[in-house]
Structure 1
Amino acid sequence: MEDLNRLKVVLVEKKKTSRWLAAELGKNPSTVSKWCTNVSQPDLQTLKQIAELLDVSMAELLILKQTICAG
């Protein structure tokens, strides 16, 4: 499975830990760890909460693929 989120990177940039995020969200630390390693993904509502807690846009938490159109 390819990486879909940048959560681990953003947490480092914001000097926060996955344990801190789990406590803020009321989630199990192992769940947040799975999000950080892209084993699983948070739902959109949770992603919105994460973005608000880290003061970033939801887009900054995602790995967006650019498509190149041949023309």
Structure 2
Amino acid sequence: MVKINRLEQVFIEHNVYNRRIAELLDVSESTVSRWVHNKQQPDVHKLYKIAEFLKIDIRDLFYPTEWPDSK
């Protein structure tokens, strides 16, 4: 099963379009599209700006990591 990209999921949840994120960060819509489709990843500063704009915790832009117990 393929998971939807977390950024895409967050944008859908907050009813935000790539165009608005592109304007906010002064990047092209195609750049945001590459982030949403896992072709490229935004740097931490851009992720912070996205979280700030959406008024969410930056950690909400990521899927939680689950590590197997290493006993």
Q: 1:19-52 deviations in whole A, cap 9, x for unaligned?
A: 1110111111100000011111000111101111
- 1:43 is aligned with what amino acid? D
Following superposition, the deviation at residue 11 of structure 1 comes to 0.5
Identical counterparts, % of pairs: 34
RMSD of Structure 2 on Structure 1 (CA) = 1.9
Runs of 4+ more than 2 Å apart? none
Structure 1 length-normalised TM: 0.85
Aligned to 1:54: 54
Structure 2 length-normalised TM: 0.85
Following superposition, the deviation at residue 64 of structure 1 comes to 2.6
Q: Gaps (5+ residues) in structure 1?
A: none
Number of residues of Structure 1 aligned to a counterpart in Structure 2: 69
